[in-house]
Amino acid sequence: MYQAAIELQIPFHDLDPVNIVWHGNYAKYFEQARCELLDKFNYGYNEMRASGYLWPVIDLRIRYIKPLLFKQHIRVEAVLKEWEYRLKIDYLIRDAATQQRLTKGSTVQVAVDAATKELCLMSPRILFERLGVDAE
């Protein structure tokens, strides 16, 4: 399985006026874990661009279970669930100390030919190569 995790401490500048993490910052935490995951199989954003493909996020889902708090240590896990026609990545944010589930979510990205800006109906061969799997 393709997965990665990062650990973070919640900084003050991520808080909203009621002293919990502002809801928009969760996407940033997902992005940091996603970059770690993509780097694990050497197909991060620089490699994507160099291979001639753009991978915009077309869907972002977040389920807030418990608020994230100032100076809280969290673990953000990213798991690649689908790759044949799109990149679907599931996320789970846990308290680093207690392992309590705090937030879950997912993103979907699709391949777009960088030269033509055309949507690819199947993930490009380079992705399968980097994952070490056969294209079907």
pLDDT in tens, 6-64: 999 999 999 999 999 999 999 999 999 999 999 999 999 999 999 999 999 999 999 99
Q: What is the pLDDT of residue 116?
A: 97
pTM attached to this predicted model:
0.95
Closest CA to 80 of 24, 27, 25, 127: 127
Q: What is the mean pLDDT of the chain?
A: 96
CATH number at residue 34: 3.10.129.10
CB of 107 within 8 A of CB of 60? yes
Q: 59 or 135: which carries more pLDDT confidence?
A: 59
* 98 domain-assigned: yes
Segments forming the whole domain that contains residue 51: 3-131
* 25 domain-assigned: yes
Q: What is the pLDDT of residue 1?
A: 72
99-107: average pLDDT: 98
Q: What is the pLDDT of residue 5?
A: 98
* 100 domain-assigned: yes
Domain count, the chain: 1
CB of 10 within 8 A of CB of 72? yes
Q: What is the pLDDT of residue 136?
A: 64
* 83 domain-assigned: yes
pLDDT of 81 higher than 90: yes
* 115 domain-assigned: yes
* 136 domain-assigned: no
In angstroms, the CA 69 to CA 48 distance is: 34
* 19 domain-assigned: yes
